Chains A and B, each alone.
Chain A
Amino acid sequence: MIIPHPLLGPRDAAEFVYLGDASLLQRPDWQAADADRQFHDYLYLRDNPAGVHRELWFHEQGDRSWLVVTRDTLSHAILKVELAREVARAQREATA
């Protein structure tokens, strides 16, 4: 696969390390009353869609950016690539 890196352009997927579902960006509040349940769901429950999936890739052989890649798991078409840092910041602003 070729991942279009937002800063570096098209890069071979072999340069990256895959982590998984981008929902890992939404780490629960550790002080919530039901933090244990929320962390359980955060850590262990994942969707595994046949289709569009947002996932985390790390450019380990490159600039060490964590990326959020929106990919169709059936066709491997890559629909969108964002810097995870920017996605995480936007999420914070949205919930703040």
Chain B
Amino acid sequence: MSASMKPSSTQPNRISAGLVDRTQTLQFSFNGNTFSGHAGDTLASALLANGVKLVGRSFKYHRPRGIFTAGSEEPNALLQLHEGARLEPNTRATVVELFDGLQARSQNHRGSLKHDLLAVNDWLSPFLTAGFYYKTFMWPKAFWEKLYEPVIRAAAGLGRLSLQEDPDHYDKGFLHCELLIIGTGPAGLTAALTAARAGVRVIVADEDFRMGGRLNAEQLSVDGMAGRDWVQQTLAELATLEHVRLLPRTTVIGAFDHGIHGALERCTDHMPDSGGKPRQILWRIYSQRALLCAGATERSIAFPNNDRPGVMLAGAVRTYAHRFGVAAGQRVAVFTNNDDGWRTAQDLSALGVEVTALIDSRTSSNQAVPNGVKVLHDTRVVDTQGRHGLTAIKLSNGQTIPADCLAVSGGWNPNVHLSCHQRGRPQWREEIAAFVPGGELPVGMRVIGAAGGTLSLGAILREAQQVTLEVLQELGYDGVMAAAPQADDESAAVTAFWQVRDGKGRAWLDLQNDVTVKDVKLAHQEGFRSVEHLKRYTTLGMATDQGKTANVAALAVLADCAGKSIAETGTTIFRPPYTPVPIAAFAGRARGKAFRPLRKTPGHQWAAEQGAVFVEAGLWLRAQWFPKPGETHWRDTVNREVLQTRAAVGVCDVTTLGKIDIQGRDAGVFLDRVYANTFSTLAVGKVRYGLMLREDGMAWDDGTTARLGEQHYLMTTTTANAVAVFRHLEFCRQCLWPELEVSLMSVTEQYAQYAIAGPQARQLLEKIVDPGFDLSNEAFPFMACAELTICGGVMARLFRISFSGELAYELAVAARYGDALIRVLMQAGEAFGVVPYGTEALGVMRIEKGHSAGNELNGQTTARDLGMGRMVSGKKEGIGQVLAQREALNREDGLRLMGFRPLDRSQMLRAGAHFVTQGAAVTTANDQGWMTSVTWSPVLGHAIGLGFIQRGQERVGETVRAVDPLHHSEIEVEIVSPHFVDPQGERLRG
């Protein structure tokens, strides 16, 4: 009978309450069928309680798979949760906390889970061994992208994404503590109690929703009481202490530098609805000391067909029985190489579950034989039976034993992961046949309990207290020397046993990636002998579980092939995160528009009211143009803005330019050194254009700098480089010339600034400048600056500078007046037909005028290329001054910034086109330069461009081809002066 056909009210495999709350029954669905479970269940325990064995299909062969573990190491039970935009693939059923209404589906099958059409892959398995796609799909080459890869990708793999935006919120946070305790098993809780009682600020994190680790999953006692009761008593005490923060449902995912740990808290994953709270929080935890108490993970044994649903880890079977009150099967067999596996048989037998056989690969054990259980020493499982779930096992002695669950224990691997996130490399410890932390641990970290290879309870408790007291001493606390919690030391004796050799058929090592013993052998045979190569070739240990249950056994098989020891073979490198972290958690709130800060100028609101179209310029939003009703194309708008500015007056928000206030006795000398040209000679009340070089002599940034006082300058930078220039100036000031008396302050955000350009600019200003200030050309000529008041006493700065080539000013006021000023300017300009213009018109006018901008100052060009070679003073110390003189940068046939216009005036130009002479082949060797900026000039009525071309200054009037092979375009252009409009500068001086 199909499990999914059972009525929802019965839970046939529920044998006791365990730690679930049977008073709270929860309904959930799996593949559309409704089941019930209880509060405290995981999805896995509830499925097992309902007798559901088959939960998924394997990655490559589409083999039926069941629940294998009871923790985050689960390789098989990967389910898809929820529907719609909240759909989440690849969640491990073993860590999903059950809630009412939870919807889950199996994944990676075509058709139904039971009748997966892709199960045919299993029959094709001889062709699908390690590296099959490197070998099989080599020919014909063109088929790879179009045929093989899409088919393989569709057939292989795990769940699917919803492809909709995640509707949940995620957050990030910062926590500080003296001691971080990772894991709350017996070691973690003992450490927490010891530290907390001494008054240490402690954070205690556990990935589980129920703290207590294995004490919840075992029949062991601590201090004479049941382990689970001791856990509750300890947690109750910790919860009363203000300096202790308990973080359940929180996985510490990585140990980073200097005691910083990453942790993912799943805040609302266990609720039907997050209620507007963040679903998950990615914590950055700053700790002085950390105790890794992450426990150990059980490993399997490789034997033929060891992947059937019903084959589980022995410790997990115990966990389901004790913590969840669920029998993983009706008839359970145990296969072990260690004494811990015996406890599964003993405990299940004591709970009344039929144990059909206890099979031990060793020749003897001193453990007590459970009542009525058949024990077989020196025996191995050589095969299993059952199509969609285990029905029987075959033994090396020829017997067949009935079993619907086989509990396997191949020993325990300490969870060393976080101890290896810096430079640690685990070391092999023979007596427990496992790797333990080794090498250099992360700063401040100690490892205790099973994570460090201490596997028996009494020893764990003693060690936890001892080490914690040592840590307290390092932190400057006096630990309370109370007696450590007491417990018996159960036996964990193990004799390494990795693979059954006396059987036929595939024996799985990595269930998630379908890697078998044969694959590892094949990889070795083909020369992939380093563990890192083995991993890449076979995909061993990849994907969501990172081989937590697989890797060590696979290493053992590889070591065996190579005739080396496991210690010599070593492990692959452990990297964060310990378990998968959703990308959304890394993004946190930095999504969509909140991805990065958005900066608006004080005039933004006004521009928005005018219907401005905005463009991003760095973090800033700038008005690009101001469309008017009836304008159908942005070019119409821009042409109007340009023509009206050149004919009357226009206003542009230039607040975003970087502004740096420079003061001090040596301010002038400082500027001489950071600019290519000289500023110490600039008169007070004057402005000068400045070109800044990089130390390698290339042009970097430009702007104007005004001298406001004897020891007071105001520099402007381009919008894009404002931050970098300021950083560079601080570098020059602090690191290169600390003897100069100069101080710097970024004042970009302190001022709102507007350009007022056009023949009527002066008349407009006269209407708002307070009486007494003479704006006449004689009193306030081109390149003058002054501090003054406007609008009846508002402090302002006025600069007579021009980027457009018109008679122009820039007017700055404190940022808080920015909104008022643009409104005043527009009102005052109404009589003159003032027009606001955006960055596009600004760009058109600067190209018409031949001014350089970012396209020309692209890091590949020099002052000489820009036609400003004479500005680079050779008489003073300056950044870039020495290397600007390099021979290759001063070649006779060097580049020169020129203007270009199409011979056929109706043609448009393309930036990025390269210049080739008439008749020459279009080759790199014949490349003479490139077009940097193009526009359609409304003043001239045709397209114009700026660009660099070899010896351009000598070639005015020559026709060359502007070739753009990417766009299959070739246009004949004439080399002209870069100053298309007002080349003599009469307007801006007028």
Contacts and interface: CB of A to CB of B under 8 A. Distances in A.
A19 B731 contact: yes
A64 B346 CA distance: 67
A30 B881 CA distance: 8
Interface string A1-25: 1100000000001000101000011
Contacts of B423: 74-75
Nearest to A32: B882
Nearest to B695: A43
Nearest to A14: B284
Nearest to B880: A39
Nearest to A58: B727
Interface string A33-54: 0011001101100000000000
Contacts of B731: 19, 56, 58, 66
Contacts of A78: 258
A13 B259 CA distance: 13
B663 to A, nearest CB: 15
B422 interface: yes
Contacts of B258: 1-2, 76, 78
A4 B490 CA distance: 47
Contacts of B877: 30-31
Contacts of B882: 28, 30, 35-36, 39
Interface string B383-424: 000000000000000000000000000000000000000110
Interface string B106-134: 00000000000000000000000000000
A43 B696 contact: yes
Contacts of A69: none
A88 B727 contact: no
Contacts of A35: 882
B735 A88 contact: yes
B260 interface: yes
Contacts of A17: 727
B287 to A, nearest CB: 11
Interface centre among A2, A31, A74 (most CB of B within 10 A): A2
B736 A27 contact: yes
Contacts of B881: 30
Nearest to A66: B734
Contact of B739 (A13, A24, A25, A89): A89
A24 B440 CA distance: 32
Interface centre among B260, B734, B878, B886 (most CB of A within 10 A): B734
B21 interface: no
B737 to A, nearest CB: 8
Interface in B727-774: 727, 730-731, 734-736, 738-739
A5 B640 CA distance: 55
A76 B257 CA distance: 7
B735 A56 contact: yes
B926 interface: no
Interface in A72-96: 74-78, 83-86, 88-89, 92
Nearest to B745: A64
Contacts of A13: 257
Contacts of B734: 65-66, 83-85, 88
Interface centre among B259, B723, B883 (most CB of A within 10 A): B883
Interface centre among B258, B440, B736, B877 (most CB of A within 10 A): B258
B286 interface: yes
B735 A66 contact: yes
B885 A66 contact: no
Report, as a range, how many residues of chain B touch the other chain: 20 to 34
A55 to B, nearest CB: 12
A64 B730 contact: yes
Nearest to A1: B257
A69 B257 CA distance: 15
A19 B734 CA distance: 14
A56 B728 CA distance: 12
Nearest to A40: B883
Interface in B867-920: 877-878, 881-883, 885-886
A92 B739 contact: yes
A84 B735 contact: yes
Contacts of B422: 75-76
A58 to B, nearest CB: 6
A27 B882 CA distance: 11
Nearest to A83: B734
Contacts of A75: 422-423, 440
Nearest to B879: A27
A87 B72 CA distance: 51
A65 B738 CA distance: 12
Contacts of B885: 36
Nearest to B887: A36
A35 B257 CA distance: 41
Contacts of B440: 75
B812 to A, nearest CB: 23
B886 A36 contact: yes
Interface centre among A19, A27, A86 (most CB of B within 10 A): A27
A1 B885 CA distance: 41
B822 to A, nearest CB: 31
B730 A66 contact: yes
A36 B735 CA distance: 21
Interface string B652-668: 00000000000000000
B730 A88 contact: no
Interface string B420-434: 001100000000000
B419 to A, nearest CB: 15
B958 to A, nearest CB: 34
Interface string B797-820: 000000000000000000000000
A27 B259 CA distance: 36
Contact of B883 (A1, A36, A60): A36
B638 to A, nearest CB: 37
A27 B440 CA distance: 38
A25 to B, nearest CB: 5
B443 to A, nearest CB: 8
Contacts of A2: 257-260, 286
B730 A39 contact: no
A85 B735 contact: yes
B285 to A, nearest CB: 12
A64 B735 CA distance: 12
Contacts of B257: 1-2, 13, 76
Contacts of A28: 882
Contacts of A88: 734-736, 738
A64 B732 CA distance: 13
B730 A25 contact: no
A60 B739 CA distance: 22
A84 B737 CA distance: 11
A56 B738 CA distance: 15
B881 to A, nearest CB: 6
Contacts of B260: 1-2
Contact of B735 (A24, A31, A40): A24
A30 B882 CA distance: 6
Contacts of A76: 257-258, 422
Nearest to A4: B258
Nearest to A31: B877
Contacts of A39: 695, 882-883
Contacts of A77: 443
Contacts of A64: 730
Nearest to B737: A88
Contacts of B443: 77
Q: Which 7 A-B pairs have the closest CB atoms?
A: A85-B734, A2-B258, A1-B257, A66-B734, A39-B882, A76-B257, A85-B738
5 contacts: A2-B286, A36-B883, A58-B730, A86-B738, A92-B738
Interface of B: 257-260, 286, 422-423, 440, 443, 695-696, 723, 727, 730-731, 734-736, 738-739, 877-878, 881-883, 885-886
Interface of A: 1-2, 13, 17, 19, 24-25, 27-28, 30-31, 35-36, 39-40, 42-43, 56, 58, 60, 64-66, 74-78, 83-86, 88-89, 92
Given A2-B257, A2-B286, 4 more contacts: A58-B730, A64-B730, A75-B423, A88-B734
